[in-house]
Each structure stands twice: as structure tokens, then as C-alpha cells.
Amino acid sequence: MRAAGHGRPSEVNVEHGGTGGGFPAHASWLELSASALRHNVEMFRALEAATGGGLRRMMGAVLKGNAYGHGFREMLPRVHPLVDVLYLITPQDGLAVRAFEREHGLAPRQVLVMGAIAPEEAVALAREGVDAVVADTSWREAGPVLRAARLERPLRVHVHIDTGLGREGFTLEQIPRETAFLAEHREEFELVGALSHFSNTEDVTEQEYALAQLEAFETGLHRLVTQLSPAKPPQRHIAASAASLVLPRARYDALRVGISLYGLWPSPETRLSARLVLGELPTLKPVLAWRCMSQVVKWLPAGSYVGYGCTYRCSEPTRIAVLPVGYFDGYPRLVSGKAHVLVNGRRCPVLGRVMMNHLIVDVTRATGDERPVTATLLGHDGDETVSAEAVAGWAQTIHYELVTRLGAHLKRVVVE
Ligand SMILES: *Cc1c(COP(=O)(O)O)cnc(C)c1O
């Protein structure tokens, strides 16, 4: 069975990402489901309505890592209308959101750059009304640079409190002594938010460490507010996907949803906990599918070897499909000998080693002749599915790494 949308992308109802021009005849493509994305956002909104205690929390989308490999440029226009705030890592991506809004005449969304920012970049963000995370003492240097730039408005900042991840943020020991520069540069820095990040919500079903992090967050927040007495109470945010789902106490004023925006569960443990905490398991729909047309389909006689190193030998005559996908594109070499792809709704094992630009699959039973086939590397075909979790598992990694490593060069097409 062939599900809709499995043709070559030029045959399906697609909106091109902007580069124009045709598709290379032999290149894999990523299909991004706009309806799955909407479903996932609505799921979080519904969860908030049901268990949020009537508060109007902000729904935030994390678009770092090239939108978790889905494609920042393709995802931004789809995500922007659905959410209240956008979280990014680089200042360049923050400015790209403002450029996109101007180009399309859209009202500016709250945008927060969570990664490292040089003082000159901070000036550019202040001018564009993009928020910045202040996470360490290197920000002292930005104060005088911002002052010299004679800005019309201060840089809007969220202070990161390190509550136990040991990554960015001021530890409780550093607050208030090492955050004093923010008080000295009130004209340059406007405190609008405070955040932290959990270390362990995905890997466990009991949240003891997370609760300790929440206590530390409250303490740090209290110290900051006492020190800086902001005009309005700062926006508090700490929950990524897992905590948004399974730790209602951690939701505060905004959710920073990354992996689950794209329809993936943070981990099996989160899934288990969600069933317990929420009573029933919400549905997440994966946004991404990865497909290609075969480069060639042909028979190999019994006894033939397949791929580098002769690691696979056909024990019987085998109809193989050579697929134009390899580890260059983000298909991990570690899945060699373990993975399968889908052709005509059937599982087709990957034979031998994954190569730089090719992999070879057994299509003996999946097709009746040597005409080209469409292969699904990730996603549904008929009744079968290959999940990002499965491929990541074969590659001894997590789906976060698998999807963010999908090649930036791959064609991305948005489907309904
Ligand atoms: C990546 C990240 C998130 C999103 O995490 P998910 O598990 O993908 O939802 C949220 N906050 C910060 C600070 C992050 O680095």
C-alpha cells in the first residue's frame, strides 16, 4: 500500500522552502507535517487548559539545532503563528525571526536567545527588541558596550540560574554578589525574566532532583528580585518538554517545548510518568518523515557480497535497492546490519554497511519488479513505522541527536 504523499516531492502538494528550482533527481527529502505540528501545539494548550489551574501560561517553541533538524527556515513560518514565544540559541536566529516578521508584516513575537552572545550582538538584539539570557559574568563587558551604543531602550534580559545542571547560569553562591553589575547598569539591562533548566526530568520516573532544582530556583529568583526590584515580576520559566508534561509545578509562566513540539517523547520514562501523572497518555504526532527514491533496483545472484568490507553475503538471489542516502545525510553508520527502511509498507533490512552517500536494502519481497521504489527511512508507510527512537536506538544514541544531525542540505517540504 502506498500512503498519500509518498511520491517524489514534486508530485505531492508541497510548498517549496524558498530556494526555488527543481529537485535533484536522486536526493532524499524530509516531509514536514503541518497538521502534526498543529496537533502537538494544541495538545500542550489542551493540557494547560485541563491541568493549568486557569492560568494563562505562554506556550514557547524551541527552534534550536536547525529546529531539531527539521529546518529552521521551513519551520519558522509554521510555528510562529501557533505559539507565544520563540526560543533560540544564536543571536543570528533571533535576528532572522525579526527579519521574517518584517518581510511578512507580522506582529513581533517574544523571542529569546538562550545561547552565548557577544557584546556587539547584544547591541543588535536590543535594537530589535529580542530578549537575551544573561548566564555568566562575561556579561559585565556588555554593560559599557550597550551604554556606548546609546540605545533607545534597554536590552531585555532573562537571568539564568544554575539550579543543578552545572551548565549555564549563576549558581546560588554567585547571587547576588556576581549579579551586581545588572543593578549598576539598569539603563542597559531590563530584567524581564528568570529561568533555569532541569538536568534529570527525562531519565527518571521520580522527580526528587527536579524538586530540589525548583527549590533552588525559587531561592535564586527571590534574591534577584530583591537585588534588582524590576518594575514587573519577572517571567519565570524552567520547564522543557518533559517537565511540561509530567511536572505541573514546574510550568510557571512559560513552557519551553522542544522535542515534543516535533511530536517526539523526550524519553520512555517521560511517557511512563505522563500516564501516571496525567491519567491518560496524550498523543504526540511526529512532524518529520524522511524518504527517497531508489537510485537503482537490481538482482544479485546468491553468494554476492554487499557493500564495503563484504560484511553481508546474499544467501539466495536477492533483489536490492540502492538508496541515495548515507551517513553524510545523517543516516548513522552505526545502524549497519540492524536497521530497516520501509518500501510499499514492508520492512526492508539494510544490508551491509551504511556508506557516505548510499545504503543498500533488500526489497526482494517488497516489490515485484525492478522499477524504482520510494523508501521511507523515518516515518509511516502503510501500517509500518520507523520511528526516530528506533533508528537512534540502533545507532546507540538518542533521537535528539539523530534528528538534529539530519543534513542541513536535505530538501525539506511541508505537507499538510
Ligand atoms: C533544549 C532546551 C529546551 C528544550 O528541551 P526539550 O527536551 O527538547 O523540550 C528547553 N530549555 C533549554 C534551556 C534547552 O537548552
Tens digits of residue pLDDT in 20-54? 456 677 799 999 999 999 999 999 999 988 887 77
pTM for this prediction: 0.94
Is 114 annotated as belonging to a binding site? Answer: no
Considering the domain architecture, whether residues 208 and 226 belong to the same structural domain is answered as yes
Domain endpoint, select from 259, 278, 297: 278
Q: CA angle 323-324-325, nearest 5°?
A: 95
344 and 232 in a single domain? The answer is no
pLDDT at 8: 58
One domain for residues 362 and 292: yes
Containing 215, the helix (H) or strand (E) segment is helix 208-228
Neighbours of 246 (CB within 10 A): 25
189 neighbors 155 (Cβ within 8 angstroms): yes
Q: Residue 338: give the domain boundaries.
A: 9-31+287-415
Q: Is residue 143 part of a domain?
A: yes
CATH number at residue 409: 2.40.37.10
Cell numbers at 304, concatenated: 554476492
How far is ligand 1, taken at its centre, from the CA of residue 198, in Å? 9
Same domain for 67 and 27, yes or no, is no
- Same domain assignment for residues 273 and 304: no
Is 1 part of any domain?
A: no
Q: Are residues 84 and 190 in the same domain?
A: yes
Residues 22 and 85 in one domain: no
Question: What is the model's pLDDT at position 6?
Answer: 53
Sheet holding 85-88, edge to edge: 235-237, 189-195, 155-160, 131-134, 110-113, 85-88, 58-62, 254-257
14, pLDDT greater than 80: no
Query: What's the CATH number where 157 sits?
Result: 3.20.20.10
Atom of ligand 1 nearest to the CA of 256: 10
The answer to the question of whether 356 is labelled as a binding residue is: yes
347 shares a domain with 271: no
User: Model confidence at 227, in pLDDT bands (50, 70, 90)?
Assistant: very high
Q: Are residues 27 and 144 in the same domain?
A: no
Is residue 15 over pLDDT 80?
A: no
Please say if 308 is a catalytic residue.
yes
For residue 114 and ligand 1, the question of a CB distance below 6 A is answered with: yes
Total length of the chain:
416
Residue 239 counted as domain residue: yes
Cβ within 8 Å of residue 224, ≥6 positions away: 159, 161, 175, 176, 179, 191, 194, 234
Total structural domains within the chain: 2
Phi-psi region at 274: left, alpha or beta (left = phi > 0; alpha = psi -120 to 50): alpha
400 is catalytic: no
Task: Tell me whether residue 351 is in a domain.
Answer: yes
Residue 155 CA to residue 341 CA, distance in Å, equals 49
CB within 8 A of 199, min separation 6: which ones?
164, 165, 166, 209, 213
Joined together, the cell numbers standing for residue 323 give: 538508496
User: Could you tell me if residue 2 is inside a domain?
Assistant: no
220 and 175, same domain (yes or no): yes
- Answer with the one of 278, 310, 330 that is the final residue of a domain: 278
Task: Give residue-wise pLDDT tens across range 351-372.
Answer: 999 999 999 999 999 999 999 9
Specify whether 265 is located in the same domain as 329.
no
Maximum separation of any 2 CA atoms in the chain, in Å: 78
pLDDT value of position 55: 74
User: Distance from the CA of 238 to the center of ligand 1, in angstroms?
Assistant: 9
Domain boundary among 260, 278, 296: 278
Please indicate, yes or no, whether residues 77 and 56 belong to a single structural domain of this protein: yes
pLDDT, tens digit (0-9, with 9 covering 90-100), for 151-174: 999 999 999 999 999 999 999 999
For residue 367, is it within any domain?
yes
